[in-house]
């Protein structure tokens, strides 16, 4: 390899990251070093999106925009301010949520002004307008918005995990004439989420059905998605909710049939946001930093020119030629021409998790054969120029997504163990594992599992896995299984 650049802009001192099992420290450090966010904004539970992190998040948003709109779900936008009277329409929801609400108070207040809150979630802003749209003859309604929502979380906040401003939060809300239509829509939303998990984030989805007593008041059913973090904690990561007619009755979302009979609508709502990015950071990252799934990477291939003073012009020109060739083949490539050493550049782009690194020095310029580094495997390959684009496309489109998916799949297999004894399950959870157990889904057994130790809870019944067994608490025969672990 040729000698490294002579002139330098700055000195980059490599930093050893905390172990990923010390997840909070590792996560906070890596999102800072990778320039995903700046956490120093002086309001608790908020942060600043940095340019690289914003591009990464917006790439995920572009993916869900396309998926939603392909499924007939249209984008819209509702105001940030919500009349308090709308939030109070669903009294059970309001009583459970009011401690988390922010009020919108004018700096100079006048008597008689209507009380407003800042959007905590979509329902109280959307459903009064749904009522008007339905009366205008618009059914079904299938819309979404990607916005910030605001909730007064408790003392402990975690960037993008538990925030007071929940940024890039999408909410799909639909309204239908029949229960059957709503059920079909719910299944569609589940499939959309599974596609995001598998094909965009390259993570095996863990989907669970929530028990009735854990649903929104009056809801029919709900499916939630979970991930297991490197420290063994379970993190809820998106939900699909069949709301039934509960909100429709509170907001009078009704239509009149051809015989003049009034019927309430059936509704579905689905939501998630930046926690998708949290999942990709947490599950694909390693001791060097991020490992970004290719389909959401702002830069898919970074080209590092390595030269002495006299070679600079020729090698940088060749690096630019390679970049243009890759761009024409649909690969988002970039050249790092900064006056840093090759080692410093390797360190920076490893932290940022760019999928492919191409090294071009004197040797490569002469031989037209390049050292191509895969960030996921941490291996170099020697690739000829006429094979470079096809090699990289194959890695980005197939090999790397498969590698990342299987790596997480193996991690889950190591973390999840089946138990028939609460004592043994608890010992495994304390070691940073997740217990899989049979349960009868009763509220009494749920509470018993929750009471095993602080912060431990069952996730819900696994959506796609059943087997015969006995409830770990009461001994009742059951086919349902749940994951039990520490939550965030």
Residues of the chain with CATH 3.30.110.30: 419-486
Question: Residue 171 is encoded by which pair of tokens?
Answer: 């909410």
Question: Residue 160 is encoded by which pair of tokens?
Answer: 């993008």
Residue position matching structure tokens 């470079």 = 388
What is the C-alpha separation between 94 and 399, in angstroms, rounded? 48
pLDDT at 3: 39
Residues of the chain with CATH 3.40.50.800: 294-411
Tell me how many degrees the CA angle 325-326-329 measures, rounded to the nearest 5: 95
> What CATH number matches the domain at 23-284, 3.30.930.10, 3.30.1490.20, 3.30.70.3420, 3.20.20.220?
3.30.930.10
Q: How many CB atoms lie within 10 A of CB 294?
A: 26
Phi, psi (degrees; rounded to nearest 5) at 437: -140, 155
Residue position matching structure tokens 């020095």 = 361
Tell me how many degrees the CA angle 103-108-113 measures, rounded to the nearest 5: 60
At the second CATH level, the architecture of 419-486 is 2-Layer Sandwich (3.30)
pLDDT at 8: 47
Question: Residue 155 is encoded by which pair of tokens?
Answer: 């003392």
**DSSP structure string for 60-79:** HHHHHHHHHHHTTPEE----
3-class DSSP state of 234: strand
Question: Residue 285 is encoded by which pair of tokens?
Answer: 């990252």
Q: How many CB atoms lie within 10 A of CB 355?
A: 27
Residue position matching structure tokens 């390693």 = 286
CA 92 to chain centre: 29
Question: Residue 412 is encoded by which pair of tokens?
Answer: 């889950």
Q: How many CB atoms lie within 10 A of CB 430?
A: 12
> Would the CA dihedral through 166, 200, 404, 297 be positive or negative?
negative
Residues of the chain with CATH 3.30.930.10: 23-284
Phi, psi (degrees; rounded to nearest 5) at 338: -65, 150
In sequence order, which residues have a C-beta less than 8 Å from that of residue 331 and are 6 or more positions away? 300, 301, 389, 392, 393, 396
Write down the CATH number for the domain with range 294-411. Answer: 3.40.50.800
pLDDT (tens, 9 = 90+) of the chain, 488 residues, equals: 433 444 445 556 667 888 898 999 999 999 999 999 999 999 999 999 999 999 999 999 999 999 999 999 999 999 999 998 998 888 777 887 788 899 887 776 666 678 899 999 999 999 999 999 999 989 999 999 999 999 997 778 899 999 999 999 999 999 999 999 999 999 999 999 999 999 999 999 999 999 999 998 789 999 999 999 999 999 999 999 999 999 999 999 999 998 999 999 999 999 999 999 999 999 999 999 999 999 999 999 999 999 888 888 999 999 999 999 999 999 999 999 998 999 999 999 999 999 999 999 999 889 999 999 999 999 999 999 999 999 999 999 999 999 999 999 999 999 999 999 999 999 999 999 999 999 999 999 999 999 998 889 999 999 999 999 999 999 999 999 999 999 98
In sequence order, which residues have a C-beta less than 8 Å from that of residue 81 and are 6 or more positions away? 104, 116, 117, 118, 119
pLDDT at 95: 80
In sequence order, which residues have a C-beta less than 8 Å from that of residue 178 and are 6 or more positions away? 266
């Amino acid at each position: 390899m040729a000698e490294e650049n002579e002139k330098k802009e700055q000195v980059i001192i490599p930093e050893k990251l905390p172990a990923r099992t010390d997840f909070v420290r590792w996560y906070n450090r890596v999102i800072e070093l990778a320039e995903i966010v700046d956490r120093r904004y002086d309001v608790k539970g908020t942060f600043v999106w940095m340019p690289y992190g914003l591009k990464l998040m917006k790439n995920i948003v572009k993916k869900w925009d396309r998926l939603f709109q392909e499924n007939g779900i249209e984008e819209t936008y509702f105001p940030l301010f919500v009349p308090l009277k709308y939030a109070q329409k669903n009294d059970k929801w309001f009583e459970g949520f009011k401690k988390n609400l922010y009020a919108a108070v004018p700096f100079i207040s006048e008597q008689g002004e209507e009380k407003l809150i800042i959007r905590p979630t979509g329902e109280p802003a959307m459903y009064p307008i749904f009522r008007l749209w339905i009366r205008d003859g618009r059914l079904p309604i299938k819309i979404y918005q990607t916005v910030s929502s605001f909730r007064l979380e408790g003392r402990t906040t975690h960037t993008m995990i538990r925030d007071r401003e929940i940024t890039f939060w999408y909410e799909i809300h639909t309204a239908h004439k029949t229960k059957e239509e709503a059920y079909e829509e719910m299944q569609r939303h589940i499939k959309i989420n599974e596609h995001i998990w598998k094909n965009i984030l390259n993570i095996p989805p863990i989907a669970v059905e929530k028990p009735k007593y854990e649903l929104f008041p009056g809801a029919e059913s709900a499916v939630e998605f979970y991930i297991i973090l490197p420290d063994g904690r379970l993190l809820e990561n998106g939900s699909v909710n069949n709301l039934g007619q509960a909100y429709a009755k509170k907001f009078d979302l009704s239509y009149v049939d051809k015989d003049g009979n009034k019927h309430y609508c059936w509704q579905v709502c689905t939501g998630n946001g930046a926690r998708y990015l949290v999942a990709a950071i947490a599950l694909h990252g390693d001791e060097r930093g991020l490992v970004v799934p290719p389909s959401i990477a702002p830069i898919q291939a970074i080209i590092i020119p390595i030269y002495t003073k006299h070679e600079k012009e020729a090698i940088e020109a060749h690096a630019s030629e390679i970049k243009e060739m890759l761009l024409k083949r649909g690969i988002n490539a970039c050249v790092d021409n900064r006056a840093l050493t090759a080692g410093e550049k390797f360190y920076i782009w490893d932290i940022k998790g760019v999928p492919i690194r191409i090294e071009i020095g004197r040797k490569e310029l002469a031989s037209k054969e390049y050292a191509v580094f895969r960030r996921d495997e941490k291996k170099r390959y020697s690739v000829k120029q006429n094979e470079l684009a096809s090699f990289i496309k194959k890695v980005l489109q197939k090999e790397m997504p498969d590698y990342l998916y299987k790596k997480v799949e193996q991690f889950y297999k190591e973390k999840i163990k089946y138990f028939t004894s609460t004592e043994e399950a608890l010992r495994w959870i304390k070691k940073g594992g997740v217990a899989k157990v049979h349960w009868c889904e009763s509220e009494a057994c749920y509470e018993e599992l929750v009471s095993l130790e602080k912060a431990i809870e069952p996730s819900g019944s696994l959506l796609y896995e059943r087997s015969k067994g006995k409830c770990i608490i009461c001994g009742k025969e059951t086919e349902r299984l749940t994951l039990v672990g520490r939550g965030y």
